Amino acid sequence: METLNHKEVINLLLQLATMLIMARIFAEIARKLRQPAVVGEILAGIIIGPTILGSLFPAAQDYLFGAHAMSNIALDGFVQISVVLLLFIAGLEVELQVVWNQGKNALKIAVASMALPIIAGFVVAYAFPEFLGVNINDRIVASTFFGLAISITALAVVARVLMDLNLFKTPTGLLIIAAAMIVDVLGWIVFSVILSLSESGSGGLGVWPTIGLTLFFTFFMLTLGKGLINKTLPWINKKLAWPGGLLSLSLAICFLAASFTEFIGIHAIFGAFIIGVALGDSEYLTEKAKEILHQFINNIFAPIFFVSIGLKVNFIEAFDPGIVGVVVIVGLLTKYWGAYIGGRFASLPRKKAMVVGFGLSTRGSMDIILGLIALENGLITESLFIGLVILALISSISSGPLMGWAEKLKI
Amino acid sequence: MFRKIALAIAFSPRMEALLAEVKRLSILFESDLILIHIGEKTEEQESKFQEILDRHELDHDRTKLIWKQGKPVKMILEVCREEEVNLLVAGALKEEGLLKYYLGSVGRKIIRKSPCSVLTLIDPKPETTSFSKVVINGTQLDITPFVIAQGAVFSKAVQADQVHILNEIKMYGLQMGTAGEDSEEEIANTRRQLVQDEMDYVEEILKGIDVSTLKINIKVTGGKWAVELGRFCEKIGADLLVVGDDSRLTFFDRLFPHDLEDLLSTLPCNLLIVKN
């Protein structure tokens, strides 16, 4: 097995240390300003990436993130694992019980809040592919990808905002949470189907077998797979070290599921997400264990991923105000109005529908991952990706104050 | 609390015990008793039942025997609706086999579809069941204030020694996971606040109910409420679990079990499902 040499090991460790330290500093600043940590972590990446550090001190930036190709490959491995784990906890956050309890209303809101951005995003990207920067050779897939990327809600971020506003346990709060969970599940199923249609994403099994396997895998994991987990988890909890046994084996089955979906031609993260849903829904995964998994992944792997975004793209060079403007306007308006209309269909009063609209507009996690996959698959340009990141930053910063404002309205 | 109590009777080994149980309940709640038999009405059957009713010394003026023919579940539920029954008493096995779970046994079908409250006794006794330890579901649901009120009235009537109200913090893992961005002190405060909120919720409901003669313990837990209730009942050896239900459960709920379905697959103890 090929190994890193002395200098490459030092470089890799310095890369990780820099990323974690900068992420922590900026997450703390964001926290002081009552903003989600993800905002600080993305800014930290922009600062130590080619955008700021690369412009001001190119030699230092090159030494850290450019001089050792092998270290960069190893770092990319860390980032890949981080994405898989982020999707795993995104799946753990989905509580099917909450979804069932909120029932049709949550489904109406979730579907409407996704349908409008997907349709509008698709139309805009399909009509102006060159202006927006979507791959003209894979126009349908790239346009749908763009629509999907602006239709996602960041569940963990909105959960935090709702807690801060004291709305988490209210009927509106639970409706937002349940709708965001449905958006997550639908979003990743649609994502897998689209990716299998993409020329660059197809893994060789063909489109229809891949779609069939995606749906089969989802159904299997949420029924029989969950049954198997329910049989195994009590034994793990009882016989193995706690939480060590549970942590290592949950991550192991997460990686197994991720490798399986990657093998059948869907992206690895889909497997991680669905196994997260199945595991999180098990009655034997205690809330304490969920909390530990959250802390472990959110504080170590999530910062590595979000900082890495700033390392991949030069946010000044590739910045296009026209693209960013379109992405932000289309993204904010369609998501808000989609969720608002869904809320009205679910018979919510205007004020509550507005709160739901702003709540579901919260972004800042899965949408960025989607954008990055699209970028890596050549479906979108760096400029469009920057637009998606800025949309995520603006919506995650603004959703809290907007929800608070709507909640106080006397209408 | 229950003006009319109904029991479906058939010539089974459990019939005598179930009759003793409903007789006691009808005395405690001063209720009329409706006995439902699904089958052909013959003279022989009629005299057999009369003999049994006499043996149990049931009040003739307040007891009615109704004969119906057809599908048992459909007919029993039809009588409950026609007679405006408030409580249907049913015997049920503690555990449901896999096939029966998905297809639905008569007992479970009644529980799932009943228009009125249902008391399910897993081990009815001729000397009647003592409801010494009662557990009430206090998790935040629309029906919970009603469930706690009904549970308290029932507990007083059966002279329960201890009443536990179990409340669950919704999505504790997600809430604490997102609180992980805070300092140690803030996290501790969030944790404390989550527990306190649930205590306050139950205490607020109890303010409007006369529970002076009851010994009440409020317990807060995290996780899925139905699963946590089941575990808690088994741990303390509860005699009765009181939960609410305002929805009709379907096959889909069995395929993706949640809430009440989690409890119905394996009953932890006797179960009173309160319907509003």
Looking at per-residue confidence, does B237 or B95 come out higher?
B237
Q: Which residue has the tokens 């050779």?
A: A137
User: Diameter of chain B by CA atoms?
Assistant: 78
- Binned at pLDDT 50, 70 and 90, residue A238 comes out as confident
Q: Do B178 and A222 touch (CB under 8 A)?
A: no
B15 touches B122 (CB < 8 A) = no
B118 & B173 share domain: no
CATH number at residue B106: 3.40.50.620
Q: What is the pLDDT of residues B173-182, one digit of tens each?
A: 888 877 777 8
Instruction: Check residue B47 and give its pLDDT.
Output: 85
Q: Please state the domain count of chain B.
A: 2
Domains and CATH numbers, chain A: 76-408 (1.20.1530.20)
B154 & B263 share domain: yes
Q: Cα separation of B127 and B130, whole Å?
A: 9
The whole domain housing B180 covers 130-276
Measured between its terminal Cα atoms, the distance across chain A in Å is 67
Instruction: Check residue A88 and give its pLDDT.
Output: 93
Name the 3-class secondary structure at B136: strand
Q: Which of B59, B91, B124 is the endpoint of a domain?
A: B124
Average pLDDT over residues B193-203: 92
Q: Which of B108, B124, B140 is the endpoint of a domain?
A: B124
Q: Cα separation of B17 and B129, whole Å?
A: 10
Instruction: Check residue A262 and give its pLDDT.
Output: 85
B45 & B66 share domain: yes
Strands B32-38 and B63-68: parallel
Q: Is the pLDDT of residue A402 over 60?
A: yes
Q: Is the pLDDT of residue B102 over 50?
A: no
Test the B interface: residue of A169, A300, A365 with most B CBs within 10 Å: A169
CB proximity A168 to B under 8 Å: yes
A180 touches A155 (CB < 8 A) = yes
Instruction: Check residue B257 and give its pLDDT.
Output: 53
Instruction: Check residue A151 and give its pLDDT.
Output: 95
B211 & B263 share domain: yes
Q: Do A294 and B173 touch (CB under 8 A)?
A: yes
Instruction: Check residue A251 and give its pLDDT.
Output: 93
Q: Which of B124, B145, B167 is the endpoint of a domain?
A: B124
The encoded tokens of residue B232 equal 């808690």
Instruction: Check residue B101 and give its pLDDT.
Output: 46
Q: Could you tell me which of A112, A117, A88 has the C-alpha nearest to residue A254?
A: A88
Nearest CA in chain B to A35: B181
Looking at per-residue confidence, does A408 or A328 come out higher?
A328
Q: Is the pLDDT of residue B269 over 70?
A: yes
Q: Which residue has the tokens 């010394």?
A: B57
B136 & B258 share domain: yes
Q: Is the pLDDT of residue A301 over 90?
A: yes
Average pLDDT over residues A261-290: 86
Instruction: Check residue B94 and give its pLDDT.
Output: 59
Test the B interface: residue of A283, A292, A298 with most B CBs within 10 Å: A283
Average pLDDT, chain B: 84
Test the A interface: residue of B101, B137, B175, B178 with most A CBs within 10 Å: B178
Average pLDDT over residues B14-37: 89
Q: What is the pLDDT of residues A349-386, one digit of tens each?
A: 999 999 999 999 999 878 899 899 889 888 899 999 99
Instruction: Check residue A349 and give its pLDDT.
Output: 94
B19 & B114 share domain: yes
B138 & B230 share domain: yes
CB nearest to B177's CB, from A177, A286, A298: A298
Q: Do A97 and B177 touch (CB under 8 A)?
A: no
- Measured between beta carbons, which residues in chain A are less than 8 angstroms from residue B182? 31
B120 & B134 share domain: no
Dihedral angle, C-alpha B171, B177, B183, B184, nearest 10 °:
70
B26 touches B33 (CB < 8 A) = yes
Q: Which residue has the tokens 């004969």?
A: B67
The encoded tokens of residue A388 equal 């998606």
Q: What is the pLDDT of residues B221-251, one digit of tens each?
A: 887 788 888 889 999 999 999 998 866 555 5
Least Cα separation, residue B169 to chain A (angstroms): 9
The encoded tokens of residue A344 equal 């009205």
What ipTM does the predicted assembly reach?
Answer: 0.73
B142 & B272 share domain: yes
- Length of chain A as a residue count: 411
B168-179 core/surface letters (b: 16 or more CB in 10 A; e: else): bbbbbbbbbbbb
Average pLDDT over residues B27-54: 86
Of A5-19, A76-90, A348-362, B4-18, the poorest mean pLDDT is in B4-18
B48 & B146 share domain: no
Instruction: Check residue B220 and give its pLDDT.
Output: 92
Q: Do A37 and B140 touch (CB under 8 A)?
A: no
The encoded tokens of residue B142 equal 């629309």
Least Cα separation, residue B135 to chain A (angstroms): 20
Average pLDDT, chain A: 89
Q: Is the pLDDT of residue B103 over 50?
A: no
Q: What is the pLDDT of residues A14-63, one digit of tens each?
A: 999 999 999 999 999 998 998 888 999 999 999 999 999 999 999 999 99
Instruction: Check residue B172 and give its pLDDT.
Output: 84
Q: Is B249 left (phi over 0), alpha (psi -120 to 50) or beta?
A: beta
Q: Is the pLDDT of residue B104 over 70?
A: no
CA angle B197, A280, A80 (to 5 degrees): 120
Dihedral angle, C-alpha B231, B143, B121, B37, nearest 10 °:
-150
The encoded tokens of residue B14 equal 């459990």
Q: Is the pLDDT of residue B253 over 70?
A: no
The encoded tokens of residue A267 equal 């992206």
- Measured between beta carbons, which residues in chain B are less than 8 angstroms from residue A97? 224, 258-259
- Measured between beta carbons, which residues in chain B are less than 8 angstroms from residue A156? 174, 177-178
- Binned at pLDDT 50, 70 and 90, residue B52 comes out as confident
Q: Do A27 and B181 touch (CB under 8 A)?
A: yes
- Measured between beta carbons, which residues in chain B are less than 8 angstroms from residue A286? 222-223
> What Å distances lie between residue A8 and A12, A73, A310, B230, CA to CA?
6, 10, 21, 55
CB proximity A294 to B under 8 Å: yes
Percentage of chain B lying above the pLDDT 90 cut: 34
Q: Is the pLDDT of residue B107 over 80?
A: no
Instruction: Check residue A148 and give its pLDDT.
Output: 94
Percentage of chain A lying above the pLDDT 90 cut: 54
B2 & B35 share domain: yes
Name the 3-class secondary structure at B117: strand
- Measured between beta carbons, which residues in chain B are less than 8 angstroms from residue A291? 172-173, 176-177, 180
B238 & B217 share domain: yes
Looking at per-residue confidence, does B146 or B46 come out higher?
B146
